[in-house]
Structure 1
Amino acid sequence: MPPDQRTLDQLSLTREEYDRIIDLLDREPNEVELGMFGALWSEHCGYKNSRPLLKMFPAEGPYVLTKVGEENAGVVDIGDGLGVAFKIESHNHPSAIEPYEGAATGVGGIVRDIFAMGARPIALLDSLRFGPLQVPKAMELGAYHADAGIPTVPPQGSLLGKTTEEEAARNRHLFNGVVAGIGGYGNCIGIPTVGGEVSFSPSYSGNPLVNAMCVGIARIDKLVKARADGPGNLLMIVGADTGRDGIHGATFASVQLDESSEERRPAVQVGNPFMEKKLLEACLELTEEHHEWIVGLQDCGAAGLTSAAVECAAKAGTGIIIDVAKVPRREAGMTPYEVMLSESQERMLVIVAPEHEAEVRGVFEHWELHCETIGVVTDDGLVRIRDGDVEVARVPAKLLTDAPTYVREGVESPAIKQLREYDVSKIPDVASAAYNGSERRSMTSDLLLQLLASPEIASKRLVWRQYDHQVGTNTVVGPGSDAAVIRIKGTKKAIAIATDGNAAYTYLDPYMGGAIAVAEAARNVACTGAKPIAMTNCLNFGNPEKPE
């Protein structure tokens, strides 16, 4: 029986996309297959609306070692056989519902993406956006302008939108939880948080942007791919046992937040940084010391085991068989659907050469990690999911990873157009003849104090003092500077890293705002004496189905 609209909405699938799945399979999908399609065709995993645009980015250069979209992170060559792996990604929706765990698991996920490459994480950064933490006081500036009949703020659509006491209280809860979550996870796992940025605007009230970046270092000849090459190789899952937390997390991250979003709290994952630390060290022991024992390595992140296994198979042009009955679980009665879509944290999928299964298991047991062999690589291109002797799903891997793409026409919002056309010259300068000497001195003092008190300008020490930015003893220049500088231990090299972006510029002029973000980040890196050689991005947009 075809699913109802509520089921499709939960899976972030349209009715047209469901019909396309039927055409591709030449039959209706069963529950497990539909869940897998929903997860992998979500915007979060499939980039349905952004992939056509992302292809326009320049992605090649003299230092670049990876191809966009083929690996967990980008890698650049810094000479002497060393490469720097780096990536930034968002965890916005989970952080809006459960700020501490949402931010903490965002850090955990980006760290796993880096050591899945065979790189040792050496630094974390973050880029955060929140609504105002307090209700702005009536601008004293208004008193100076009122007598002259001069408008004090731009028209409708202003970035200076109103904030209620209730919204400000919620924003403070989100701010405190997100910052604590980033610090809690990063501090426990022993990776310094060395830089980032924080900005505030009514646009983000109740819906923060939480972007986490991780940087790692690896020997180029020890890099690992996220591919399930070689029929007969084994699929091993290691780390935390699988639970029901995070189910539909990928599809949740692909829909719009509304009044019902609180019901999605179970889709927010729960992190364990101490488990992750053991997982990190065990995986790096394999990649650095026993590289020939494993074929591939992948994080069980968004869409969990579905994404990890299917994407590895699709990239290699192979198939896989997984027996969910062999997946370690921490909850009784879990269905194949739940096991395949769970986003329980601190889990890795390892593609193991069968002749080294015992040795790989020995490494994980040394680090007190639970691992099980749950499947095998095949040569038929099919993803076959079993529950013991019963086959519960059979789908070509390429169909699952070939999400439809959309190129949509955008329409500029009239409010933004009006705001951009606002004549700022209507606001007089403090030197204007409209004010006499005493008024001018009082106004100048008030404005200076207002500017210094603005969260946009004020020191962000409150944030970064909650992070351990010296752990590892490699931080040369830490938070509060133009860019962080991290030494590469055992060499005479160092790398400079920064995150930057100006939401107001991008709001008013998206093209120029994007260009300015790139230029600002490059300048900040250059100010340390470093040469900018590569960049990555994490673009956070609203609902692409809304033209404006």
Structure 2
Amino acid sequence: MYRRVNLPFTLYEVDVLNACDEDLVKISSELGLALNLDEMKAVKKYFINIHRNPTDLELQAIAQTWSEHCYHKTFKGVVISQNSIVNNIFKTYIAKATEEIKPKWCISVFEDNAGIVEFGDGYAIAVKVETHNHPSAIEPFGGAATGIGGVLRDILGVWADPIANIDVLCFGPLNIDYSKLPKGINHPRYLLKGVVAGIAYYGNNMGIPTVCGAIYFDEGYIGNIAVYCGSVGLLPIDRYVRNVSPGDAAILAGGRTGRDGIHGVTFASLELNSDSRSGLRSAVQIPNPIEEEKLRRAILRIRDERLASGITDLGGGGLSSAIG
């Protein structure tokens, strides 16, 4: 199913055109795409229409863009409960109130790296919160630390200066007996210590305090914890620039790309079990707050000297999400 392409670097053509359903599932599993059969069929249909097979690189780009982390399939999907059916939680509950009210003090909502609201005296507040559940369940210190690092980049990704972090953490009961834990599940005490330490480590190394948050314990979080990481930044409104034009040069800046964090967004679409947990630790990126602090200072100087036409966070989706 894989044919090496004659190029100076490693690239494979993947035969999805002739793949049966079983083959499609196998391709998704072997390449770590985390796409189900229906999604793989949609990929196959697309490449049938353009009369060629995809490369493994193209499949990886599709998988990360279509991942739970990047595309939010749960929020956009149909949720069926005992009492109701909700088509698209995001539109029905999360975005609906803002769209109905249309407050004038909302400068940017649901369209950039972070939400931006007017604060006063020419300043705005940028706010971003996201979950880092799967990474923190696999590697609590690194998962939580990179969760904070990600939202800090999102604040910087709208030209704001991060000034405070927030978090909401949900774990299983701390007094649960080890014998009652499902196979492969880390004890809540271990997870709590790692998550709290990771959040503190990243913020402290950048001089950004965690100013508020919440913690909750319930048996429902034994199998998969919930780690909400958030950050708040201050932004001079006249420095919020989104004026990118064709022909502008794109500059990629930040930490070195290593083997850590590979499939970081696609594995978030997987169901965690005893088998998957043991082999996914490398999907959690190694936190690097010192490098991000350097980047923070550079971004703010670029902003204040008006040297750029736009900015975005190169998050888990990579270049194909950032500029694709």
Q: Which residue of 1 aligns with 2:288?
A: 272
Q: 1:259 to 1:224 in 2, by over 3 A?
A: farther
Q: Which residue of 2 aligns with 1:20?
A: 42
Structure 1 position 55, deviation (Å): 1.8
Q: Deviations over 1:113-157 (max 9, x none)?
A: 00110111111010000111113xxxxxxxxxxxxxxxxxxxxxx
Partner SS state of residue 196, structure 2: helix
Residue 53 of structure 1: which of 89, 106, 110 is its match?
A: 89
Partner SS state of residue 175, structure 1: helix
Once residues 206 and 122 of structure 1 are traced to their aligned partners in structure 2, the CA distance between those partners, rounded to angstroms, is 33
Q: Which residue of 1 aligns with 2:26?
A: 6
Structure 1 position 90, deviation (Å): 0.7
Partner SS state of residue 232, structure 2: strand
Number of aligned pairs? 278
Pairing of 1:46-445 with structure 2 (within 5 A)? 46-51=71-76, 52-56=88-92, 57-59=96-98, 60-68=102-110, 70-135=111-176, 164-165=178-179, 167=181, 170-225=187-242, 229-261=244-276, 262-288=278-304, 290-291=305-306, 293-310=307-324
Once residues 166 and 118 of structure 1 are traced to their aligned partners in structure 2, the CA distance between those partners, rounded to angstroms, is 47
Pairing of 1:399-548 with structure 2 (within 5 A)? none
Q: 1:62 to 1:230 in 2, by over 3 A?
A: closer
Q: 1:222 to 1:169 in 2, by over 3 A?
A: closer
Q: 1:6 to 1:169 in 2, by over 3 A?
A: closer
| TM-score with structure 2 setting the length | 0.81
Q: Deviations over 1:51-109 (max 9, x none)?
A: 332123222312111131x2001110122211100010011101111110000000000
Counterpart amino acid of residue 5 in structure 1: V
Once residues 166 and 214 of structure 2 are traced to their aligned partners in structure 1, the CA distance between those partners, rounded to angstroms, is 8
Partner SS state of residue 237, structure 1: coil
Any stretches of 5+ residues in structure 2 without a counterpart? 1-14, 17-22, 77-87
Percent same amino acid at aligned positions? 42
8 Å Cα contact 1:92-1:208 kept in structure 2: yes
Counterpart amino acid of residue 306 in structure 1: S
| TM-score with structure 1 setting the length | 0.49
Once residues 252 and 313 of structure 2 are traced to their aligned partners in structure 1, the CA distance between those partners, rounded to angstroms, is 10
Q: More deviation in 187-196 or 254-263?
A: 254-263
Once residues 284 and 27 of structure 2 are traced to their aligned partners in structure 1, the CA distance between those partners, rounded to angstroms, is 19
Partner SS state of residue 128, structure 2: strand
Once residues 253 and 78 of structure 1 are traced to their aligned partners in structure 2, the CA distance between those partners, rounded to angstroms, is 35
Structure 1 position 201, deviation (Å): 0.9
8 Å Cα contact 2:24-2:41 kept in structure 1: no
8 Å Cα contact 1:170-1:206 kept in structure 2: no
Partner SS state of residue 158, structure 2: coil
Q: 1:107 to 1:180 in 2, by over 3 A?
A: same
Q: 1:101 to 1:166 in 2, by over 3 A?
A: farther
Once residues 91 and 221 of structure 2 are traced to their aligned partners in structure 1, the CA distance between those partners, rounded to angstroms, is 28
RMSD between superposed Cα atoms in Å: 1.8
Partner SS state of residue 108, structure 1: helix
Structure 1 position 245, deviation (Å): 1.1
Once residues 41 and 53 of structure 2 are traced to their aligned partners in structure 1, the CA distance between those partners, rounded to angstroms, is 9
Q: Deviations over 1:8-52 (max 9, x none)?
A: 142121232223234334233211111100000112111233133
Structure 1 position 215, deviation (Å): 0.4
Where in structure 1 do 4 or more consecutive aligned residues deviate above 3 Å?
22-25, 163-169
Larger Rg: 1
Once residues 36 and 257 of structure 1 are traced to their aligned partners in structure 2, the CA distance between those partners, rounded to angstroms, is 22
Q: 1:6 to 1:224 in 2, by over 3 A?
A: farther
Q: Deviations over 1:288-310 (max 9, x none)?
A: 2x22x212211121122222222
Partner SS state of residue 315, structure 2: coil
Any stretches of 5+ residues in structure 1 without a counterpart? 136-162, 311-548
